[in-house]
Amino acid sequence: MSEVSSEEPAFNPRPRDPRLADCLKDYPPSLFSERLYRSIEFMERYSIELAIDLLRRLDIIGALAEWRSAHELCHVLRFQPRFSSATAWILERLIETECVEARTDGDSRSYRLRHPPWQPQLAHLRAIGLDIDPSNARTLDLLERAASLYPAVAHGEQSGEQSLFGPQGVPLWLNYFHNDNLTYTVNNWISAVLAARCLTSQPKLRILEVGAGAGSGTETLLGWFDERGLLPRLERYLITEPNAFFRRRNQRELSTRYRELPLEWSAFDINAPWDVHGVASGEFDLVYGVNVLHVAKDLLFSLNQARFALASDGWLVIGECLRPYPNQPIYPELMFQILESFTDVHTDPEIRPNPGFLTANQWRRAFTRAGFARTEVAPDVDHIRELYPHFFTCAICGQNTATTNDPESFRS
């Protein structure tokens, strides 16, 4: 098959639907700006260009002359079996370019090349993204670093964790998970706004945050709680993070900024029984986490553990990167597909049919099965996706109404 490709299409996103403003009226007006809209559209396009580049760098094009599944491609190309998830993501990402087509036979999905893709002009396109907003460099740097590692991970020469969380990778994560990063800080804000709304009538606030990273989500939550007059009710805030480097950085920065607040720090594994970390039944009014629970090994187990930690009227509030429609590939996944913690999870046909990010309905079903009441997804992503199918973030809340104090009842 010829390697002559069609001309690269121009980056020309459609105008933002004005009805989005009404859907997002509960959030700070500056948050969902035209810059954010164009930045997200740009990241979607840039991830497609990177996927095209990876199609060639991984020599996948020649193997797509006939129908093959991601598992079959890994076998033919001698990739590690666990790389099949990343392979499938690359191919699903390229279906909208029409250079790759897919078909589904039962539980199996196969792919075939329709025509060679265009030659991506990554440097030219990157300049466009930085012109939209210079802070986009934070996301672009991490996307590019992750993409550069795909061949080595595919061939088992190194793991994604070793490379992305090594000396070169950690600074990129710190820049990405930062409130100066336009495309990421929206995750923190949506979560904080919903948490404040859930806790408006709570007389006291005892908070457990899981997977706090370097602290950008904590920083946003504290700032919003301060603005809403909730901080005087704060009796305890336990901030947990398993990565020692991130945890120390979080503690260093926030303990200096909020000297008067009852902040504590600890390591924490959401996949282990939470009482082994010293968490008692009914100890907290809020369990909070931003972009954490989608990587829980057993999602229902971790949701049950969160409910175990909550008082009888307490709330679980999580912010999550969202898949608007089932199996829809989205740009942040390029960073995570080579991480075993992202792909090596228990799947469930109802709540998590595939590793990675969930849809709003899957989160609703998961919260309900874990015994939470008054489950809500905010903003109204079901309506928003009809106006804008690239809206990728939401917050989910559920209230604990259980009265049992038996830890074993929460471990199933």
Query: pLDDT, tens digit, for every residue of 229-268?
Result: 999 999 999 999 999 999 999 999 999 999 999 999 999 9
Instruction: State residue 408's pLDDT score.
Output: 55
pLDDT tens digits, 95-141? 999 999 999 988 889 999 999 999 999 999 999 999 999 999 999 99
In this prediction the pTM is 0.93
**CB crowding 303-312: b at 16 or more within 10 Å, else e:** bbbbbbbbbe
Query: What is the structure's pLDDT at 7?
Result: 76
Cross-strand bridge partners of residue 319: 290, 395
Positive or negative: CA dihedral 87, 88, 90, 95: positive
What residue type is assigned to position 139 of the chain? T
Q: How does DSSP classify residue 147?
A: H
Tokens of 329: 């590939």
- pLDDT score, position 2: 40
Stated length of the chain? 412
Of 367, 373, 336, 338, the residue nearest 352 (C-alpha): 367
| pLDDT of 247 | 95
CA distances from 43 to 52, 128, 129, 150, 372 (A): 14, 11, 8, 18, 35
State residue 288's pLDDT score.
Answer: 98
Q: Which residues of the chain have pLDDT under 70?
A: 1-6, 403-412
Q: Are 215 and 253 in contact (CB under 8 A)?
A: yes
238 touches 264 (CB < 8 A): yes
